[in-house]
Amino acid sequence: MKEIEELLFPDDVHYAETHEWARDEEETVVVGIGDYAQDQLGDIVFVELPEIGDTFEKGDQFGTLESVKAVSEIYMPVAGKITAINEALSEEPELVNLEPYNRGWMIEIEPDDPDEIHTLMSGTEYMEMLKGAE
């Protein structure tokens, strides 16, 4: 596992306390898990995602991640409707480990409230939270 300083927390996304990231793409929000989460989980071997059209509240579980160590839940960083899922993850779950912020994205949401994303943390705030938890 990496040291916190070695992990990447880009500033173009917002972070949830449960370690998901959310990227504002104007009409939609794209969601995945951050570098810290993928590093802690280890090799991801299976990703279970919701159906397109499902709606969730903020904090609801929208899927599960299975790594060689354990199964973990993934939670909605903002409330909204699922408009797309990353189909590639069913064949290549390793994308979550390799490119957590890009090709490892998980779902695209049409948010109920476009401003809700701003209640999440910035990369710097998130890293401070992680350091506090160490």
Partner 1 sequence: MRDSQGTSGLILNEPLLWKKGSKGRSGFSMPRRDVVPSPVAEGITGDGPDFPDLSELDVVRHYTRLSQWNFGLDTGMYPLGSCTMKYNPKINEKQATLPGLTGAHPLLPAELSQGALKLMYRLERYLAEITGMDAVTLQPAAGAHGELTGMLIVHAYHKNAGSRRSKIIVPDTAHGTNPASAALCGFSSVPVQSDEKGIISPEVVAGVMDEDTAGIMITNPNTLGLFEENIREIARIVHAKGGLVYGDGANMNAVMGIMQMGKIGFDVMHLNLHKTFSTPHGGGGPGGGPVCVKDFLAPFLPVPRVVYGEGTYHLSENFSQSIGRLHAFHGNFGVMIKAFCYIMSMGGEGLKQASRLAVLNANYIKESLKESLHLPYDRACMHECVFSDKLQETQKVTTLDMAKRLIDYGFHPPTIYFPLVVHGAMMIEPTETESKEDIDRFIEALRAIVAEARENPELLKSAPCRPKVRRLDETAAARKPCLAG
84 binds partner 1 (CB under 8 A): no
The CB-of-65 to partner 1 minimum distance in angstroms stands at 12
DSSP class of residue 69?
S
> Which among 55-63, 68-76, 80-88, 123-131 is the span making contact with partner 1, rule CB under 8 A?
68-76
Residue 39 found at the interface with partner 1 (CB under 8 A): no
Beta bridge partners of 68: none
* Selected range binding partner 1 among 22-30, 31-39, 54-62, 65-73, rule: CB under 8 A: 65-73
- H-only helix segments in 61-133: 88-91, 95-98, 123-133
User: Does 88 help bind partner 1 (rule: CB under 8 A)?
Assistant: no
Query: CA 123, CA 2: separation in Å to the nearest integer?
Result: 17
* Candidate list 8, 57, 59, 70; residue touching partner 1; CB under 8 A: 70
Is position 94 an interface residue for partner 1 (rule: CB under 8 A)? Answer: yes
Burial 62-83 (b: 16+ CB within 10 A, else e): bbebbbeeeebebbbbbbbebe
Q: Figure out which of the listed residues 43, 99, 113, 125 binds partner 1, where binding follows CB under 8 A.
A: 43
